[in-house]
Amino acid sequence: MKINRIITLIGIIIGVILLFYYFPKELAWINQQYVLLITISISILIPWLTSERWVEQYRLKRDHSMEFANESLSQWRDEIDELTKIESKIYIESFEFEYRYPKSNSSIIYFKYLNEHLQKGHPIILELWSKIENHCISVNQMITDIKENIRKAIINDDLLEKLELKKHYYIQISERRSYPPPEYYEPDTIVNLLLSEIDYLQKYQKHWSNFEMRKIVININEKPTNVFELSYDNKIILRTLNEDNINILKKWFIDFSERYEIINMVRSFNDQDALLEIYKMEFVNALDDLIWFVRLGNNLKGECSFCPVGIFSAIKNHFLG
């Protein structure tokens, strides 16, 4: 600590020179008091700032910020798509589509402590995230309403009832709750495929119409029976005993995808979904800026309950602890 004593002595000498030679004689004593206070402060702070303890505290603070940048903030940026996924699934209990809330960002490593830093030092990050969360909920609700409207229109459609096709949801099959009847249609599968068809129609101004029909043999009352299965994009949408029904149902599917009210709903959804992507880009850019702010030598602003000892605590510990 010899170097600290030398630096302290230099600080005192500078203070004395300023006190007796730099300031004119006519200055009030109050100014000399200020200089004396500065001299004492220099003599205290310089050795503290050059001590090993201060260097160690600075290193800990630096490591603390770097860990947030390389772990927490980077994970948040990398998982943004999963955290804001737009998804509406049908549930076996109700056979209705329900939307999902955005995943909690509590899965981000050290998020509790990062959040404390952001609240005090970088509130813009939390403001941008809140905007994304709210919009994500709105978009999820929108796609759920669209799917439910289509599902209800399908199950109330006169044609399907006329052809004596019974509704049987794919989720009942996938979860092995029940076996489908010989003739049936899958409302949940048709809803999702109709949205794909409408999206394709909007983008390319033509139908995708990716239908396939195959004949299979199943046992009905212990008797082998031909059944005709209609698929779209390799997903089964219905089965019928009458092959003539296949072309009728293909046309029904295409006509359904051209309904004006459904197309309008899908357009509105696409606009809001595009806006969500803009919000996500703004958020990711803000995260990148903060990550590089730290990597280029700055510490996160604000404090958290996991922070290394702050400057005022460190001074107290240095002189009193």
pLDDT tens-digit profile of 108-162?
A: 999 999 999 999 999 999 999 999 999 999 999 999 999 999 999 999 999 998 9
Cα separation of 247 and 252, whole Å?
9
Task: Give residue 56's Cα distance to chain centre.
Answer: 36
Q: Closest by alpha carbon to 139, among 104, 167, 99, 174?
A: 99
Six-digit token string for 76 = 């948040």
Give the DSSP per-residue string, 233-260: TTEEEEEES-THHHHHHHHHHHHHHT-H
- Are 172 and 188 in contact by the 8 Å Cβ rule? The answer is no
The pLDDT of residue 312? 47
Q: Supply the Cα-derived Rg of the chain in whole angstroms.
A: 35
- Model pTM score: 0.74
pLDDT tens-digit profile of 269-305?
A: 999 999 999 999 999 999 999 999 999 999 999 888 8
The pLDDT of residue 320? 44
Distances (CA, A) of 300 to 75, 78, 114: 17, 20, 9
Return all residues near 86 (Cβ < 8 A) that are at least 6 apart: 136, 139, 140, 143, 273, 276
- Are 123 and 312 in contact by the 8 Å Cβ rule? The answer is no
The pLDDT of residue 245? 92
Distances (CA, A) of 18 to 13, 22, 42, 101: 9, 5, 13, 66
The pLDDT of residue 55? 67
301 DSSP assignment? S
Six-digit token string for 162 = 């006329």
C-alpha torsion 246→250→252→254, nearest 10: 180
Furthest-apart CA pair in the chain: how many Å? 120
Six-digit token string for 157 = 């459609």
For the chain, residues with pLDDT lower than 50 are 1-2, 26-30, 311-312, 314-321
